[in-house]
Amino acid sequence: MIKITDKSKCTGCYACNNICPVKCITMTPDEEGFWYPRVNEDKCINCELCVKVCPEINHFINSDSTSDPICLAAWNKDEIIRLNSSSGGIFSALSECIINEGGTVFGAAFNKELEVIHKYIDKIGDIEKLRGSKYVQSNIGDTYVRAKNQLDGGRKVFCTGTPCQIAGLYNFLGKDYPNLFTCDLVCHGVPSPKLFQLYIDYIKSKGNLKISNYFFRNKKVGWKKFNIQILSENKKSILQDIQKDPYMRSFLDNLNLRPSCYECLYTKRRRVADITLGDFWGVANKYPDLDDDKGTSLLLINTYKGEMFIKSIDTVIEKHGCELEHAVKGNPNLIKPSFLPLNRSSFFEDLKERGFEYVKKKYLSPRTKLDNLILLIKNGKILIALKNKLIKLLK
């Protein structure tokens, strides 16, 4: 049976929960709000399937992918879809293609309680529910089981998720399906669902709001300087600068990430999925013509199946070849995990003992340039940068 003795070795992907033939594994949140498997040993039949599908114990490598993927800057030609997407709207184009062919799409969405869950859709009008970034770990639930049922029924299936979630899916399926298409994300790390709910409760109490929807990325002031958008039940819209939003501060400072994210096995050039999507941060530095501040997607084509998938939407997207090395500069999580802050443990301890408002004031207030420098020094990042520059000079 699966036993988690080191929390950095569990991604919370739910593969063990989905595969268990006697349903003796439940996913239970810890004090930080991250899910871990709990085994009912009285029901366990010691089949070891949970161990076999774990993407941490059995690191999945996609034999069809390459460490030298095709790198593209891309966006959806439909201006409305592009502006309502986090980056360039490529996910929407791919989803529409699959649904038009009678297939289903799996991805992350908010439920009525503003919890992020994985769900599937098969209608064009529902694509907007999965569109856009969700900076919270999604609850996979029984996604893998549902996806397998769809695949075995002969339907085309498009699955999106973090690299570890896609690795969990492949390990769960245990074989190749020609009707399966996958997309992983350039993942910074997955934040605590518990922290997000405490943050939402804080917003509700301070503003006396009944929140109907929440958007992590609003482009009213542009793609590169996006805002948080909160919609209330009376249709009032509130925009919040990400640098001033406490939850986004905790995310950008790596404080709220799952322990496994700091040691991620899947931040590599050789990707897990058929394609990889993200924001092409820094695209204007080398390719200024490819940035109009409406959103430019970084699109990596990792497999032949992924290449054919992208060709199927050629008429509805704009795409341009770019250097992978330049993409990595703006998206370092393509090849390395986010760094572990020295104050992460104290952050979660204070959250547990003193609540959200306390950690907001202590850890998440807008910072000055001096604060940023002190933080870099504390976390050793500035020393690493100086060391790397010195090595280059000595070569």
Do 186 and 214 have their domain in common? no
Tell me the CATH number at 20: 3.30.70.20
> Is 305 a member of any domain?
yes
Going from the first residue of the chain to its last (395 residues), give the mean pLDDT of each consecutive group of 10, the final group possibly shorter: 92 98 97 97 96 96 95 98 97 98 98 96 98 97 98 98 98 97 98 97 88 94 95 88 94 97 96 98 96 97 98 97 96 96 97 96 79 59 61 63
Do 104 and 136 have their domain in common? yes
Do 238 and 306 have their domain in common? no
Domain count, the chain: 3
Q: Helix, strand or coil for residue 285? A: helix
> What is the reported pLDDT for 386?
64
Count CB-CB contacts under 10 A for residue 119: 19
Do 77 and 186 have their domain in common? yes
Count CB-CB contacts under 10 A for residue 1: 18
Nearest to 8 by CA among 189, 248, 197: 189
> Is 18 a member of any domain?
yes
> Is 392 a member of any domain?
no
Per the structure, the complete domain to which residue 371 belongs is given by 193-256+341-385
> Is 307 a member of any domain?
yes
CA dihedral 22, 122, 274, 292 (to 10 degrees): -140
CA dihedral 40, 46, 47, 49 (to 10 degrees): 50
Do 90 and 16 have their domain in common? no
Residue 180 is which amino acid? L
> Is 58 a member of any domain?
no
> What is the reported pLDDT for 352?
96
Do 163 and 284 have their domain in common? yes
Rounded to 5°, the CA angle 36-40-45 comes to: 115
304 strand-pairing partners: none
**Single residue among 334, 361, 377 that ends a domain in this structure:** 334
> What letters, b where the CB count within 10 A reaches 16 and e where it falls short, cover 147-165?
bbebbeeebbbbbbbbbbb
Do 146 and 206 have their domain in common? no
321 strand-pairing partners: 72
Do 229 and 371 have their domain in common? yes
> Is 145 a member of any domain?
yes
**Single residue among 302, 318, 334 that ends a domain in this structure:** 334
Do 223 and 288 have their domain in common? no
Distance CA 258, CA 190 (A): 6
> Is 30 a member of any domain?
yes
Do 225 and 354 have their domain in common? yes
Do 245 and 268 have their domain in common? no
Do 267 and 166 have their domain in common? yes
> Is 327 a member of any domain?
yes
> What is the reported pLDDT for 216?
96
Residue 104 is which amino acid? T
Distance CA 68, CA 75 (A): 22
